[in-house]
Amino acid sequence: MSDQYVKVQVEQMKSFGEDAEKEGVDTEEQVPGSSPSASVSPDHPTGTDASSTSLPCKQTGKSRSKPGREDKRHTSDVASQGSVVSSEKNLNRLGYERTLQVKGTGKILQRKSEPNGNYVTIHTSKNIEEMRREEGFKLAKKRRPVTVDTSKAKTSLEALKISIKQLKWKEFPLGRRTACDIYWHGVSFHDNENIVSGQVNKFPGMIEMLRKINLSRAVRTMQELFPEEYDFYPRSWILPEEYQQFTTQIHMVKEKDATVNPTFIVKPDGGSQGDGIYLIRDPSDLKLMTGSQAKQGVVQEYIQKPLLIDKLKFDIRLYVLIKSLEPLEIYIAKEGLTRFCTELYQEPSQKNLSHVFMHLTNYSLNVHSGNFVHSDSQSTGSKRTLSSVLYRLAAKGVDIKRVWSDIIALVIKTVIAVVPELRVYYQADIPPGKPGPTCFQILGFDILLMKNLKPVLLEVNSNPSMRIEHEQEVAPGVFEYVPSPVDEEVKVGVIRDTLRLMDPGHKKPTVPQQRAGGFEQGEEIPMEEETQEKSQDETGTLPSLCLKQVYPKYSKQFNYLRLVERIAALFIRFLGVKGNMRLGPTAFRTFIRTCKLSGSNFTMASVDILYIDITRRWSGATPDSREAGMGLQAFVEAFFYLAVRRFKSLALREQVVSLLELCESQLGPQSGVEERRSLSCSRALPRTVKTQTPCLANPQLSSPAPLRRAASQDYRHQRFKPRSLRANVEN
Ligand code: ADP
């Protein structure tokens, strides 16, 4: 048959049967001594489409964990979670078939390879479309299931098991000798050591970055550059180093206006679940020491007028997925939780300061109150879904679209604040060119709504609880873990959809071209896209994704904020040694020289003084001060100083942009971060620059941030000796 009449197609039939069978022997592959995994009931969610409503991610599967045999067969649902995984080795191992299509007829001749290398024709009757459909179906049936190591999942295990079961993926509850596609860690990136491939659900350094002190510092740096954009974080002072500033400021405020009586909340640095938190009205009530050691923590402006529901204070727990750091990809769960206090709220007074059930919304505290109501529906009790609360507010006429849009903006801005340092951790643990896993992470944002509906960031949790059961006293003195429908509703959806997004076989959803980058600065972000994010479950057995991409979708609106990331890119470039997180004096000199920042009025001797002084001061301020050298935060301070010094007449933000552009132009094309090009000067300078962050509740209080910058400006006296210079800086 000539080419004119016959089109020869080589169909490489990627048979995954062999692999699938291999995967079936999972119990043998587990760590010796392992027992078969506990599995969960096969109940599937009924597929309520979250996208059909404004917010909630309905996941109606109420499956509970029951011990049983792992289902070893994988049906068509498995493959349809994403694109077909291709495996080169399978192509060659298994015989492939050739199909001959008779042009114009749709008929095909098909031949199959024999072991002796010949082909035999096996049928001629089907048309190519039918064949493709069938083969697609076969592939779907045989696609190797995604493997998940759950051995370190800890309290997430229950929700994770349900999610894996719903996805028909393969769980390895006791680990696996060979690599898994996904490693689910309960605490940190390092829960399993020596992972060289796959994906881990934690970023290196996230725990450290989100501790209260570090988060406050990161946000404060952004407040220095963008005071208005970062006014969602309460004024905070770092203890013990800013104790003096704190007391001085409070006394000044009170002296000015005796009627002002602000309240502050004191939080230990590494604390969680309300541990060690207390309210004060007078700086002298601060407990600064534990034994002979100074307590590390933050003291923060207390939001006195929160929004109340049923006269109770509540906060929002929002789940946020960082899918990737570079490029930055952020998803927000459309459904979250709200946690209610259990004592009617009153504005703080000396009398009620110690009433934790009135002022702290932590579940872990309020569950011990006699008034705690375990929720059996989503809209009542002490823990409710976010959507139920928003609907209730909407019914009262609240513009919940605005609230939701503000919440999304708060999340994106906060992530932008912590990303620079995360990048430093990331390159230290997973240096480019070294084999390693990629990372993603679910974070828990705690957000308070003020009475005026402004969202306020309280903290970000690197390990939000994913428990879906709670302890209950079933008889006097007898406690049992019982299912918590509200937790299950929300958390299983978040974990399952995170897995769906991280599916190694899943084709990246592309943001439609015309929408990429999203809305202009200041525009309200809609609650739902007009074009709904499509369910990635082609079989239709799973609900639409409850995670909504917000970045890069709205990057256009927020890119200009990514200035510190560009400073971090410079910092990383000069770190030199792989795995390093701190800049030595020589590397700092190299940075100054390469970027041509020294000259007759800023000598290399002054550069050394700058380095020594800033590094010395920061080494006392950071918990991991054992390491010598200049960390990112110290480098940022040095950079700000250099910017202020060089571009005197401008405002700080413009000064920093100008210095960045200068450095990047000296360094050539690879120096910036991915969005550098879109960070035009004009976008970076859209507003009047204020020198002080507006205070949420007490406008009289000024931020300690500009003090830090003012201090660093004293480096202008670069000819001073280090000692006297240091004294200047500390004042
Ligand atoms: P933890 O990690 O110990 O839970 P948080 O920072 O979340 O610490 O604070 C615990 C609780 O205290 C919050 O859930 C919230 O109810 C309350 N809270 C924290 N910060 C403030 C604040 N600045 N203003 C008002 N309430 C706050």
Most ligand 1 atoms within 8 A of CB, residue of 458, 460, 465 to mutate = 458
Q: How far apart are the CA of 361 and the centre of ligand 1, in A? A: 7
Report angle CA 317, 319, 325 to the nearest 5 degrees. Answer: 140
695 to 9, 261, 527, 599: CA distances (angstroms): 69, 14, 28, 40
Spatial distance between the Cα atoms of 310 and 314, rounded to a whole number of angstroms: 10
Q: How far is the CA of 458 from the centre of ligand 1 (A)?
A: 6
Distance CA 453, CA 302 (A): 16
For residue 512, the model assigns a pLDDT of 44
> Mutate which of 281, 302, 316, 362 to test ligand 1's pocket (most atoms within 8 Å of Cβ)?
362
What's the CA gap between 81 and 75, in Å, rounded? Answer: 11
Pick from 574, 303, 641: nearest CA to 451: 303
Q: Say whether 210 sits in a helix, a strand or coil.
A: helix
Query: How would you classify the pairing of strands 182-185 and 199-200?
Result: parallel
Q: Which atom of ligand 1 is nearest to the CA of 302?
A: 24
Ligand 1 geometric centre to CA of 360 (Å) = 6
Q: Which atom of ligand 1 is nearest to the CA of 300?
A: 23
User: How far is it, in rounded angstroms, from Cα 84 to Cα 166?
Assistant: 19
Q: Measured between alpha carbons, how far is 548 from 533 in angstroms, rounded to an integer?
A: 8
Among protein residues, the one whose CA lies closest to atom 1 of ligand 1: 272
Predicted confidence at residue 131, as pLDDT, reads: 56
Residue with tokens 């004009």: 682
- Mapped onto helix, strand or coil, the DSSP state of residue 40 is strand
Query: Which of 464, 178, 420 is CA-nearest to residue 316?
Result: 464
Q: Write the burial class of residue 304 (CB in 10 Å: 0-12 exposed, 13-18 middle, 19+ buried).
A: middle
Separation of 701 CA from ligand 1 center, angstroms? 20
Site residues for ligand 1, CB cut-off 6 Å: 234, 265, 267, 271-275, 277, 300, 302-303, 315, 360-362, 446, 448, 458-459
CA of 301 to the centre of ligand 1 (A): 11
Ligand 1 atom closest to 274 (CA): 3
* pLDDT given at position 379: 79
Q: Atom 15, ligand 1: which residue's CA is nearest? A: 360
Q: Give residue 265 CA to ligand 1 midpoint distance, Å.
A: 8
Report the atom number in ligand 1 closest to the C-alpha of 461. 2
Residue 276 CA, closest ligand 1 atom number: 3
Q: Identify which of 233, 265, 701 to mutate to test ligand 1's pocket (most ligand atoms within 8 A of the CB).
A: 265
Ligand 1 centroid–CA 277 distance in Å is 8
Centre of ligand 1 to C-alpha 305, Å, is 14
Ligand 1 atom closest to Cα of 364? 4
Give the pLDDT of residue 624.
53
Which structure tokens are listed for 28?
């043998």
Give the per-residue pLDDT at 472: 81
Extended strands (E) in 285-342? 289-290, 293-294, 297-301, 308-309, 312-324, 329-333, 337-340
- Mutation test residue for ligand 1: of 213, 277, 312, 314, the one with most atoms within 8 Å of CB: 277
pLDDT for 437: 96
Q: How far is the CA of 498 from the centre of ligand 1 (A)?
A: 27
Structure confidence at residue 630 (pLDDT): 96
pLDDT at 228: 97
Between the CA of 535 and the centroid of ligand 1 the distance, in Å, is 36
| CA 588–ligand 1 middle distance (angstroms) | 39
Span from the CA of 332 to the centroid of ligand 1 (angstroms): 21
Predicted pLDDT at 138: 56
362 Cα to the center of ligand 1, angstroms: 8
pLDDT less than 50: residues of the chain: 1-126, 128, 510-516, 530-535, 625, 671-691, 703, 705-731
| Terminal CA-CA length for the chain | 91
Q: Is 151 left (phi over 0), alpha (psi -120 to 50) or beta?
A: alpha
Specify the ligand 1 atom closest to the Cα of 361: 16
Nearest CA to ligand 1 atom 22: 302
pLDDT tens-digit profile of 154-175? 999 999 999 999 999 999 999 9
Q: Which amino acid is at 496?
A: R
C-alpha of 573 from chain center: 24
Q: Which of 360, 367, 698 to mutate to test the pocket of ligand 1 (most atoms within 8 A of CB)?
A: 360
**Res 647: pLDDT:** 95
